[in-house]
Structure 1
Amino acid sequence: MACNARLGVLRKHFCSASKGVSAYKAAECQQLKQPLVLLSKTSRPLEDHEVRIRNRACGLNFATYLTTRGEYQVKLEPPFVPGTEVAGEVLEVGKDVASLSPGDVVIGLLETGGLQEVVTVPGFMLDIGALTKVELKAKRDVDYCKLASLIVNYGTAWMALTRKGLIKEGETVLVTGASGGVGLAAVELAARIFNCQVIAVCRDEKSKMVKQYGAHNTIDYTRQNIRKELKELAPSGVNIVFDAVGGDGAVDLVKSLAIEGRFITIGYTAGIPKIPANILLLKSASAVGLWWGNTMQTVPDAFRESVETVTKMYLDGKINPYIQQSFPLEKVNEAFGLISSRKVVGKLVIEM
C-alpha cells in the first residue's frame, strides 16, 4: 500500500467514532482553541487487519497543543481526539496480524487519537515502524509513562543529530529549547551517547535539570547575549546547532557555527527564521531541516531505524526520558495549560 493511501487509512482509524461493544473514555477537541471535552465512546468490532490496544499513556508535546488550536502545519477539523504518542498493551489482534498477541506491550505513533483509553490501528503500522512491540525482560518492568515519552523526542533528536547533523564524537553541540522534551533528548544523546561538549540554551531555573542530563554549560537567553557567550564558550564556533526555537535569534546561531558547521532546524516556537545564506557560504556550513514524523512516509527505513534505536537504548538503560508530571485523562486541559505557559521541563504525560 502506498504511503499516501496508508495515511488516508490512518486518518479513518484515528478520527472516526464507531459503534461497538466496549465503552471507553476519550478527550475530544470539539472546537479549536477551546478546552477538550471528556466523553464516552464505544469500539466497533475488530477487522481482520487491525490491532486493538488498551492505551495506558499518551505523551504530550507542543505540536499536539498547537493542533488543538489549528496552528500546527497539519490541520485537523473538529471533532477529533488529539494525541500522537501512545504506550499500552494489545487487547485483540485481527486474524491477519501474525506478529502480535494479546498482552504484548507496544508503543505507537499515531497521526491523532492518542488521548483515549482504547486505540484501534491498522496492522501495517508494524511494517513502517509506527507501532513497535517492546521486548521487556519482565512485564513488571514496564513504565508506560516513560514509553509514551520516548519515540517522538528521542527519535527526532537521534535522526537530527545523526542523519542530518552527521554528529561525531567530541564535537561541540549547541541545543536551543534545551529544557523541552526534544531539547532535553538532544542534550542527553549528544552528551551521553556521543561524548560531545554540550551548550544548552534555557532559563536559569531549568538549568539544573538540563545539566543533570549532560549539558556542560548553559546560557539563559532571557538575560544573556547568546552570541557573546558563545564566543567565550566556543571560540572556534560550534559544530552543530540543534535549533528547536527558531525566531530572529537563529541568525546569531548561524554566525556562531564553526567551519563546516551544521545548523539543524526542527521547530519554530519563536517564529520562522531567515537564515543568512552568505554566512553559510563563508563558513562552508550547512542548514538542514527535519520533520521527523513525516519521515514515516518519506523515508520509512530511516524512521523505523530511529524508533528501533532509541527504544533499544531506553531498554538498555542508556537514556532516560524525563517526565515532569503525569495527569489523569480528566485533567488533560490542565496539562495543556502548563504547555501553553512554557513551564514544562521534559515531558508531560496523560495516564489512562
Structure 2
Amino acid sequence: MSRRGLSAFAGRVSFKAAQCQEWKKPLVLVNKCISPLKEDEVRVQTKACGLHYATYLATRGEYQVKRDPPFVPGSEFSGDILEVGREVSGLSVGDVVAGLAKTDALQEILTLPSSMLEIGSLIKISSSPIDDENYSKLASLVVNYGTAWMGWTRKGLIKEGDTVLVTGASGGVGLAAVELASKIFKCKVIGMCREEKSEQVRNFGADHIIDYRSESIRQEIKSIAPSGVDIVFDVVGGDGAIDLVKSLAFEGRFITIGYTAGIPKIPANILLLKSATVSGLWAGTATTPPGVFKETANIITNLFLDGKINPLVQEAIPLERVNDGFEKMGAREVTGKLVIRM
C-alpha cells in the first residue's frame, strides 16, 4: 500500500506532539498514534517547525481564526519523507521537503495529502540529506518570505528605486521584507525597530533605521524621504500607522499585514489627499488565488537555494522546551525566527 523508509521511527506506533490544551497556558507534550497511510498521502519526519506570531496568538485564542483546544499548533515545517502512498508521484522516501501545513506542525511526524504538492504548500527541496542549520532555515521561508514577496509584488507593486518603509523590521516577516526590498528589488529601505536591534536590520539591507519609540517619526521619515515613502509594509498596526500613512508619497501604497500593536483606524481623507491606497494581505493557501501561492513558494525556495536570501534563525529550540519559544515571542525577544527542532 505504501513505500516505506528506514528511520528512527521504524517500528514505532506513536510520536510526540506539543498540544494546546487550554488557551494562554503552556503547551503539553502528548503521545499520538501513527495512523495507517492512505494511498494519496505522504508521511514526513518533521525536522523543524517555524514559530510565527500567528501561532502564538492561536494558542491564546486571540487569532482571527480561532481553534478550540485541544489542538496542535504550528504550520511551517521542514523534514524528510518517511513513507509515500502508492498513488503519490513526484516524491520518494528520503526526499527533503518543506512547506506549510494547515495545522499540527509542532509534532514529530506529519501525515499530509499529496495534493499539497499541487498548490505549493509542500515543496521538494532535495533527494539527499541536508545539514541541521538548513532544516531550520527551510522552516523559516514560506511564511516570512512568502508574505513579504506577495506583499511587495501583488500589493505594493514594488519597483527598483522605490523608497520603502518596513515596520517591525527586526521580526521574521519584517527582516524578510527588508532583505527582499534591498537585495532583490534594489530599493531604498527604512527599517523601524528598536535601536538595540538595528545592527541586524542594517545587515539585512536597511539603509536607515528609525526607532519606533521616537516622538518625531514623521520628521525623521521626511528627512530621509522629503517627497514621501512609496510603500509602507506594516506588520505592527496600532495608532502609529496613521503617521505612516501621512508619510506616504503621492499615490503611495500602504500594505497592512499584522496588528501586534492593535488595529489602526486610518482616516479616509488622508488617502484621498494623497491618492493613496491601503491593501490588506493574508498570504495563506486558502486565501491566495490558485497558482499564486505555488509560484511564490517556488520563487522564494529558489532564491534561498541560490544563496540570494538567507533567513535569520535566532535559535533552534528542542521540542521539549517548546514553551520557552512561546515565552520569548510573548516578551518580544525575537530577532528573525525561532524554530522548534524535533
Q: TM-score, normalised by structure 1?
A: 0.92
Aligned AA (2:272)? L
Distance 1:48 1:316 in 2: 34
Q: Deviations over 1:195-235 (max 9, x none)?
A: 10000000000000000000000001123421111111111
**Equivalent residue in structure 2 for 1:315, among 301, 305, 308:** 305
Please tell me whether residue 306 in structure 1 is matched to residue 304 in structure 2. no
The unaligned stretches of length 5 or more in structure 2 are 1-10
Q: How does 1:16-95 map to 2 (within 5 A)?
A: 22-95=13-86
Contact preservation (8 Å) 1:21, 1:44: no
Contact preservation (8 Å) 1:296, 1:303: no
Partner of 1:107: 98
Partner of 1:7: none
**Equivalent residue in structure 1 for 2:321, among 323, 331, 335:** 331
Secondary structure, in 3 states, of the residue corresponding to 1:300?
A: coil
**Pairwise CA distance, 1:297:** 4.4
Aligned AA (2:323)? N
Partner of 1:163: 154
Distance 1:135 1:90 in 2: 11
What is the aligned length? 331
Q: TM-score, normalised by structure 2?
A: 0.94
Contact preservation (8 Å) 1:170, 1:196: yes
Distance 1:133 1:215 in 2: 32
Contact preservation (8 Å) 2:94, 2:129: no
Distance 1:93 1:72 in 2: 33
Distance 1:288 1:127 in 2: 27
**Equivalent residue in structure 1 for 2:256, among 265, 268, 282:** 265
Contact preservation (8 Å) 2:95, 2:124: yes
The unaligned stretches of length 5 or more in structure 1 are 1-19
Runs of 4+ in 1 over 6 A off after TM superposition: none
Distance 1:215 1:227 in 2: 18
Please tell me whether residue 222 in structure 1 is matched to residue 207 in structure 2. no
Larger relative helix fraction: 1
Q: Deviations over 1:77-122 (max 9, x none)?
A: 1111111100001000111111111001111111210110000011
Aligned AA (1:341)? A
Aligned AA (1:349)? V
Partner of 2:334: 344
**Pairwise CA distance, 1:139:** 3.3
Distance 2:153 2:170 in 1: 21
Q: How does 1:165-184 map to 2 (within 5 A)?
A: 165-184=156-175
Distance 1:291 1:232 in 2: 32
Contact preservation (8 Å) 1:199, 1:217: yes
Aligned-pair identity in percent equals 63
Secondary structure, in 3 states, of the residue corresponding to 2:291?
A: helix
Distance 2:215 2:49 in 1: 36
Q: Deviations over 1:136-179 (max 9, x none)?
A: 7x634571000000110000000000011000001100000000
Q: Deviations over 1:254-306 (max 9, x none)?
A: 1000011100000000111112211111111111010001x544412111111
Q: Deviations over 1:42-89 (max 9, x none)?
A: 211101111100000000011000000110011111111111100001
Aligned AA (1:121)? L
Shift of the 35–211 alpha-carbon distance from structure 1 to 2, 3 Å rule, reads same
Partner of 1:11: none
Distance 2:26 2:100 in 1: 23
Partner of 2:229: 238
Aligned AA (1:90)? I
Contact preservation (8 Å) 1:128, 1:296: no
Please tell me whether residue 292 in structure 1 is matched to residue 262 in structure 2. no
